[in-house]
Amino acid sequence: MSDAPILAEVGNSTLYLDELENGGLLTNASNSYDSTHIKNVYVQKWIRDQLILIDADKTLAGDIDIDMLVQDYRESLLLYNYENAMVRDRLDTVITTQQIEQYYKENGDAFKLSESLIRCKIVVLNGRTPKLDIFNTNWKSSNIKSVNIYLAANSPVMAMMDEYKWYSTDEILSFLPEKIKEKNLRSSKILQEAKDGNEYFVDILQYLDKSEVPPLAYVTSNIKKIILHQRKSKLIVKLKEDLYQREINSTKVRIY
């Protein structure tokens, strides 16, 4: 029981002033008015909560075993944190390229796409940028050296030049001119369209339709997570079995 002043009582529950003080609720009060206002708001909320708890206890008393639920929850928390602690110290988190490739080879069909993907390069230039015709010629002929020199000299609005990165087709279409549709991405190689005073240059490197198996690079991150999850599950099973075998004949265990 606290020696602090009592703020409110509901049934057998008591709210003391130090509950607010220890919780830091009055720390930001700049004056006595603020302090009183904060206390009043908290007291009213506390009273409402206690009344609901009393009514819930009366209404549900015969329907649920609170003590059992609390015990189950406590055990679940202990097991969860124990397993995480054991795994953190023992789990092998190193995943080699060979292991990723092997998993992909054996389970590639499980990663079939739910949306189409595209690998492409995109450059957006202001329509007033000088010598756009020269850039366009170099772009169409895949003269990367000349393209890069041009971009270095004429700041582009956007330049996506990573030819190994995969994108969702919807993501790409979301900012391209409306004249460019998915069918264009599927069937075309080089595209150029204007939008809002800018020129969009698109070089389609590869298109993958829905239900196709995605490239390894696109699913590498997911494969790593899956491999780690499998290792974690196996490790937990092993730790539990090792503990069982070690303690089954000890004085801690009594079977009747």
Amino acid at 98: Q
Per-residue pLDDT, 60 = 79
CA angle 218–220–221, rounded 5-degree value: 100
Percent of the chain with pLDDT over 70: 94
Instruction: Decide: helix, strand or coil at residue 20.
Output: helix
Mean pLDDT of 117-139: 94
Mean pLDDT of 113-135: 94
Mean pLDDT of 189-195: 92
**Inter-residue contact 42 to 25 (CB < 8 Å):** yes
Per-residue pLDDT, 235 = 93
Q: What is the tens place of the pLDDT at every residue in 30-75?
A: 566 567 888 888 889 989 999 998 888 888 776 777 788 889 999 9
Per-residue pLDDT, 32 = 62
Can you give the pTM of this predicted structure? 0.65
At 104, is the pLDDT very low, low, confident or very high (cuts 50, 70, 90)?
A: very high
Determine the longest span between alpha carbons in the chain, in angstroms: 91
Q: Would you say residue 27 has pLDDT above 70? A: no
Chain Cα centroid distance, residue 74:
27
Mean pLDDT of the chain: 89
Per-residue pLDDT, 36 = 82
Residue with tokens 């015969």: 62
Question: By CB neighbour count within 10 A (0-12 exposed, 13-18 middle, 19+ buried), where does 231 fall?
Answer: middle
Distance CA 106, CA 110 (A): 9
Per-residue pLDDT, 75 = 92
Helical (H) or strand (E) element with 234 = helix 216-247
Tokens, residue 230: 């499998």
